[in-house]
Structure 1
Amino acid sequence: MADDKAPRAANIFDVARLAGVSHQTVSRVLNDLPNVRPATRERVEHAIAQLRYSPSPAARSLVSRRTRTLGLIAPAVSDHGPTRIGMSFSIAAHAARYSVDTVAVVDDDPGGVRAAIEGLLRRRVDGIAMIVMDIGVLEMVRELDLSVPVVAAASSSRRSPLLVQIDQYRGARAAVRHLAELGHTRIAHIAGPARAADAVERVRGWRDELAERGLPVVDLAYGDWTAEAGYRLGREMDLEPGMAVFASNDLTALGLLSALRERSLGVPEDISVVGFDDIPEAAFLYPPLTTVRQDFSALGALMVQKLLVTLEEDQEETTDTPLPTRLVVRESTRSAVRDALEPSASERVQPL
């Protein structure tokens, strides 16, 4: 049977790839703007003809009109961090008299992100903000050269004017430092997904802090940010009294606490636990969770400010320095050196 599916129409990214130029250069040719070399213009026009690309009126006006609309590309997840960043971005944008056009995408799909960018450009947004979780998408974002300003909330050890971020690396080191200073010498880590940018930076911080203190870099397991993963790994990992666990986020820590209770390991009597994020529920867990606080609201507002630096002449330049984290010490951590007369939680549980 013949495939009656219509072929996909070429878009501006296809033209840019075929011509070997940036998306911004194609926009300049479409809008007949200066500062394009004749040879480059000819190459772009040839690619347009070859692909039979027909730009919409909206595409032709990408660099010539302002709509006071910002595009926001966010991962299609309900996690606390991305949700709060997106909410704060919208609040800050509206305060600056911009509307927000939000698109949710699968967070590990560079192709989906490209399609979302193309869609926002067709709707003539003045700038685009992205909340990036996956390292593959982050690499794709680094290569973008668009006709509108772009900013991405993404964790990376490489500084870039494109990025705004919270300092995951130093936050992780602070968590491990706290546990080491309590006397713990074996500190496990339940990480987030291996391709998650935040998880990569937290693993790096965990490793470096242990290495600097001469402690063994062992007991690393990868989860998926969920309480289910924390529970499963808490049941599977080789955890013993006197150890500590740095959990990739507070939901992972929540599942871990449940698993440890089922194993008759007390927190913090037997094992100290530190989370990351300081979600609103962290203070009300049992025990209240020691964690690393991130200011998601400040990050969302900073994304807007960074876009406005380009769009509004009266805006002050923003810094590329990552926003700091803060360790919040509660009751899920304690000294690894107990009174010799004080039994551990596992010792207090008598067999039936």
Structure 2
Amino acid sequence: MDADAVSGGRPSTEAVNGAEEAAAKPATIYDVARAAGVSHQTVSRFLKGYQGIRPQTREKVVKALAELKYQPNLTARSLKSGRPHRLAALTHEIDQVGPSRIVQGASVAARQAGYLLDIVTLDMSDADAIEEAVGLVAQLDVAGILALASNDAMTEAFEQTDFRVPSHLAVEEDDARTGHRTELSAVGFPSLIAYLAGLGHRSFLHVAGPPAWSSSRNRARAYERSLAERDLTSIGTVHGDWSAKSGYDAIMSLDDLQATAVIASNDQMALGVMLALKERGLRIPEDVSVTGVDDIPEAAYFSPPLTTLRVDFTAHGRTVVHELLSLIDQTPPKRRAPALQSELIIRASTAQAVRQGG
């Protein structure tokens, strides 16, 4: 009599254990390839960040990776390649939308390429912060370092640091120095100004970010350039620090608001702008239209919902990781999309100009 007959037709203990072991066994790229209906070479290229995979194929691989809960064997990879499969990201201002989303995109791209991304945040108020952070990163035994700089002080500090492993300085370059504008500057701001001009707005106020940030300078220049191209008037630029409070203070500091449209350099400052305008007895958008930049999740729920330029920071994060991996692998960098792609999102904070600005 066989074992199944003895157990009343139930699987044997050995069969159950074998099934459990098979279920617990981590998925391989061959398992992913079978589930996706593609070759294992295709899965391997995807995990290494190769961009030339057809969208339909890429979608199948992503779905199979998720369903099988695929996790790369970093230990085996490290032993095989002779190098660690960890990257480090040095960053600051992690509470700001741009830097935080760039880190998110970088983390996903690193994981898809088979790396773990260790995130080290720096305290810019501490003069020894960078030296301590570099020392910490050195202890992590990483294959490469992503230096995410937002302001001039961080950029200068990273440029003077010897990281001793492949490193990539990821910073929004000042377009006045390089001559290469980001997509946000070349397309985003002109489309925003064109939209407002189409509503009859002729006088504008810009609430800009801190002058020490290259992104703030780029946006301020894009604002001025876009107005000049349409022979529109700027009554001035007031600088904030990216916070809602600074946007509020910027509007409250003005003796008279002659503009019919206020363009804030980010959505948080736009929020403060809107509160200050209301406290000064102005209606949005009937008296003044307000716009922002970034399209934070809360922007759609401002009162009224905010018209803004949506910026794809996560895509930028993926790009800078691929550039770092090219340095590590000593391969030519892949063709990259224009930096900081943007999209105009129109909501209820903008409307036809009904009063004449000064």
How high is the TM-score relative to the length of structure 2?
0.68
Alpha carbons 2:134, 2:163 under 8 Å: kept: no
Q: Give the distance between the partners of 1:165 and 1:144, measured in 2 at CA.
A: 27
Offset of residue 192 of structure 1: 0.8
Question: Counterpart in 1 of 2:307?
Answer: 290
Offset of residue 149 of structure 1: 2.6
The 3-state SS of whatever aligns with 1:275 is: strand
* Residue number among 258, 263, 273 corresponding to 2:275 in the alignment: 258
The 3-state SS of whatever aligns with 2:263 is: strand
Question: Counterpart in 2 of 1:169?
Answer: 185
Q: What does the per-residue CA deviation read over 1:61-103, in whole Å, with 9 as the maximum and x for residues that have no partner?
A: xxx9511110101114412222222122112212222112211
Offset of residue 204 of structure 1: 1.0
Q: Give the distance between the partners of 1:219 and 1:238, measured in 2 at CA.
A: 13
* Residue number among 315, 318, 322 corresponding to 1:305 in the alignment: 322
Q: Give the distance between the partners of 1:144 and 1:105, measured in 2 at CA.
A: 14
Offset of residue 278 of structure 1: 0.1
Alignment of 1:142-291 (within 5 A): 142=159, 146-158=163-175, 167-170=183-186, 171-240=188-257, 243-291=260-308
Question: Counterpart in 1 of 2:133?
Answer: 116
Does residue 137 (structure 1) correspond to residue 165 (structure 2)? The answer is no
The 3-state SS of whatever aligns with 1:327 is: strand
Q: Pick closer, same or farther for the CA change 1:294–1:201 going to 2, 3 Å.
A: same
Q: Give the distance between the partners of 1:251 and 1:157, measured in 2 at CA.
A: 23
Q: Give the distance between the partners of 1:220 and 1:176, measured in 2 at CA.
A: 15
Offset of residue 142 of structure 1: 4.5
Alpha carbons 2:305, 2:347 under 8 Å: kept: yes
Alpha carbons 1:188, 1:245 under 8 Å: kept: yes
Alpha carbons 1:273, 1:290 under 8 Å: kept: yes
Offset of residue 111 of structure 1: 5.9
The 3-state SS of whatever aligns with 1:219 is: strand
Which has the higher mean CA deviation after the structures are superposed, 190-199 or 234-243?
Answer: 234-243
Offset of residue 114 of structure 1: 4.9
Q: Give the distance between the partners of 1:138 and 1:174, measured in 2 at CA.
A: 30
Identity of aligned residues (%): 35
Q: What does the per-residue CA deviation read over 1:219-256, in whole Å, with 9 as the maximum and x for residues that have no partner?
A: 21111111111112222224546611100110101111
Q: What does the per-residue CA deviation read over 1:255-309, in whole Å, with 9 as the maximum and x for residues that have no partner?
A: 1111111111011100011100000011111111000101122111112211222
How high is the TM-score relative to the length of structure 1?
0.69
The 3-state SS of whatever aligns with 1:106 is: coil
The 3-state SS of whatever aligns with 2:293 is: coil
- Bigger helix fraction: 2
Q: Give the gaps of 5 or more residues in structure 1.
A: 1-63, 341-352
Does residue 83 (structure 1) correspond to residue 100 (structure 2)? The answer is yes
Offset of residue 312 of structure 1: 3.8
Alpha carbons 2:174, 2:215 under 8 Å: kept: no
Alpha carbons 1:186, 1:243 under 8 Å: kept: yes
Q: Give the gaps of 5 or more residues in structure 2.
A: 1-80
Q: Give the distance between the partners of 1:270 and 1:68, measured in 2 at CA.
A: 56
Question: Counterpart in 2 of 1:52?
Answer: none
Offset of residue 177 of structure 1: 3.1
How many matched pairs?
Answer: 274
Alpha carbons 2:166, 2:327 under 8 Å: kept: yes
